[in-house]
Amino acid sequence: MNFELTDEQQLIQKTAREFALAELANGVIERDEKKIWPREGVQKMGELGFMGMMVNPKWDGGGMDAISYTIAMEEIARVDASAAVVMSVNNSLVCYLLEKFGSDHIREKYLKPLASGEKLGAFSLSEPQSGSDASNMKTLVRKESNGYRVHGTKNWVTSGVNSNYVILFAVTTPGIGHKGISAFLVEKGWEGFSEGKPENKLGIRASDTCELYFDNVFIPEDNRIGDEGMGFRIALTTLDGGRIGIAAQALGIAQASLDASITYAKERVQFGKPIAENQGIQFKLADMAMEIEAARLLIRQSAFMKDSGISYGHMASMAKVYASEVAMRASTQCVQIHGGYGYIRESGVERLMRDAKITQIYEGTSEIQRVVIARNLLK
């Protein structure tokens, strides 16, 4: 693995950093407090090519590698983790899935506008009774002569309110477990398809999350993704790549925590000197920096393996579980270094701690990641 970024990767990093600081930093605290979806920011990410970075240019994507994607994700999350998760879902879960498993009809009609940023996608796997046990779903699809009818509820759907298209996993053959699950693409606006109100969340509050309801929704047969019964394998394969994106989001939160801690430690004077001169503070900063660098290397290693066609699921799990835990430790220490000022909303650093927590939960909890890692070790 070459640890030097290419000229293109450096340009992507610079572009993402400048965009985040110029377009996302302003108003980030207000968007978090009032749950304001970053519409203009998401639109501009699309214009910059950040919403379909790894998609083949044939389908209007950027044709970039996974390392470039993680670099951009880190820079966006460093400023606004809510905007970053919108970007992550569209890239890692929606565009990747459609390019890898979708028909040319689906790629032409749906992938192109998603990859170009013209449209936005969502990924609906979880249900009220099925989280980590994703195969325990009840959303049911019945075959008709020219398509399918779906009934059921999905929850924890990122971008569920603001998306145009939704990847849906549902049961086509009951009674045979995960082998009876299939995947579909559903358009917003179809009769019987509706969404619930956005959840009132601890963190990433500017990113909408909601339930989706399917009441006898008709899905054309052309909108099935892959063969019947392939849905669960499609979901698991897709989530491997998604975990790299969430790891990069966590890394951005951790780096922002370190950046804010260094700045404040140099400025805050107590007992006649900046607190940065206190060894207790220096050790906190050193630990944060070491863990962030280790997380970054794990993420780039997993992205490198993905780009190289090497089996990377276990490495993606390592990257996600470690980066998410680093994000929690770094953001908590950031609040501690800021003291009372870190506990109030105006400082902006308490948001980092709230945003970090979800990275240990969604797209596979830290506990599930450890199961994946252990199974790879013991196979």
pLDDT digits (tens, 9 = 90+) for 235-293: 999 999 999 999 999 999 999 999 999 999 999 999 999 999 999 999 999 999 999 99
Q: What is the mean pLDDT of residues 308-331?
A: 98
Exposure class string for 108-124: b at 16+ Cβ within 10 A, else e: ebbbbbbbbbebbbbbb
CB atoms under 10 Å from CB of 317, counted, come to: 27
Distance of CA 325 to the CA centre of its chain: 16
Does the pTM surpass 0.85? The reply is yes
pLDDT of 2 higher than 80: no
The active-site residue, picked from 74, 195, 325, 363, is 363
pLDDT exceeds cutoff 90 at 139: yes
Q: What is the pLDDT of residues 24-64, one digit of tens each?
A: 999 999 999 999 999 999 999 999 999 999 999 999 999 99
pLDDT at residue number 250: 98
Half-sphere exposure (CA, 13 Å, Cβ side) for 12? 22
- Find the farthest-apart pair of alpha carbons in the chain and give their distance in angstroms, rounded: 80
Burial 14-53 (b: 16+ CB within 10 A, else e): eebbebbeebbeebbbebbeeeebbeebbebbbebbbbbb
Query: Do residues 341 and 306 lie in contact, with contact meaning Cβ atoms separated by under 8 Å?
Result: no
Average pLDDT, the chain: 97
pLDDT at 3: 81
- Is 363 known to be catalytic? yes
Q: CA 20, CA 77: separation in Å to the nearest integer?
A: 9
List of domains in the chain = 7-119 (1.10.540.10), 122-232 (2.40.110.10), 234-378 (1.20.140.10)
What does the CA dihedral 77, 114, 297, 306 come to, rounded to 10 degrees? 170
Nearest 5°: the CA angle 25, 29, 34 is 130
Has residue 221 got a pLDDT over 90? yes
Residues in Cβ contact with 34 at an 8 Å cutoff, skipping those fewer than 6 apart: none
Name beta bridge partners: 171.
140, 181
pLDDT of residue 309: 96
Q: What integer pLDDT is reported at residue 135 of this predicted model?
A: 87
Question: Which phi and psi (to 5°) does residue 144 adopt?
Answer: -120, 180
353: left (phi over 0), alpha (psi -120 to 50) or beta: alpha
171: nearest Cα among 136, 139, 211:
139
